[in-house]
């Protein structure tokens, strides 16, 4: 399997993130660079550049854009995904994250753990949706999908 060696979020036109969102972003990017699995599958008779890859993520015209380049910066592929399938799970994820951040300040550990379990479940659902949407475009493992989903949420937060 190949991997991502660099990821860049194009958040130039987005409002500044909250401290909590910024922390989620930093953790997801760090974890993604530490360990990930990302491969471009062979398609028809087209040559697919082998990784590792540099990935640019952005939102343009209500679409999620993956700009994939090789290590030397040569274009590998670009694909766009509709944000529609992500809307509800992103909304649910932000709602549960808000509950979690509020709980950490005020609730006992048992209640925080319950909310965190729900948060992980929604996060897993977002990763599942991403894997489905990437079918035929890119192959990622579950942990990579979770981390990419977090970054999609960060972009979605501002968009």
In contact, 126 and 149? CB cutoff 8 Å: yes
State the CB neighbour count (10 A cutoff) for residue 105: 7
3-state class of 75 per DSSP?
strand
Q: What are phi and psi of 97, to 5 degrees?
A: -65, -40
3-state class of 116 per DSSP?
helix
Per-residue pLDDT reduced to its tens digit, 15-28: 787 888 888 889 99
Average pLDDT along the chain: 90
pLDDT at 85: 93
pTM of the model: 0.89
State the CB neighbour count (10 A cutoff) for residue 35: 11
Per-residue pLDDT reduced to its tens digit, 66-106: 999 999 999 999 999 999 999 999 999 988 888 888 888 88
Q: Quick one: 139 exposed, middle or buried, by C-beta within 10 A (0-12, 13-18, 19+)?
A: middle
The whole domain housing 62 covers 4-156
Residue 154 confidence (pLDDT) above 90: no
Q: What is the mean pLDDT of residues 118-145?
A: 95
Residue 147 confidence (pLDDT) above 90: yes
pLDDT at 157: 63
In contact, 90 and 156? CB cutoff 8 Å: yes
| Count of domains forming the chain | 1
pLDDT band of 116, cuts 50, 70, 90: confident
Taking CA atoms, 64 is separated from 32, 120, 149, 153, in Å, by: 18, 23, 11, 11
């Amino acid at each position: 399997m190949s991997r991502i060696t660099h990821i860049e979020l194009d958040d130039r036109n987005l409002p500044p993130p909250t401290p909590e969102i910024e922390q989620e972003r930093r953790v997801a990017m760090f974890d993604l660079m530490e360990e990930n699995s990302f491969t471009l599958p062979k398609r028809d008779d087209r040559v697919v550049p082998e990784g590792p890859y540099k990935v640019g993520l952005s939102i343009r015209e209500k679409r999620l854009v993956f700009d994939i380049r090789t290590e030397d910066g040569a274009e590998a592929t670009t694909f766009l995904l509709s944000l529609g399938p992500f809307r509800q799970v992103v909304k649910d994820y932000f709602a549960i994250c808000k509950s979690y951040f509020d709980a950490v300040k005020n609730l006992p550990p048992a209640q925080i753990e319950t909310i965190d379990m729900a948060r992980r479940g929604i996060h897993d659902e977002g990763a599942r949706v991403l894997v489905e949407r990437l079918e035929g475009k890119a192959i990622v493992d579950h942990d990579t999908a979770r981390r990419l989903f977090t970054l999609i949420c960060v972009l979605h937060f501002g968009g």
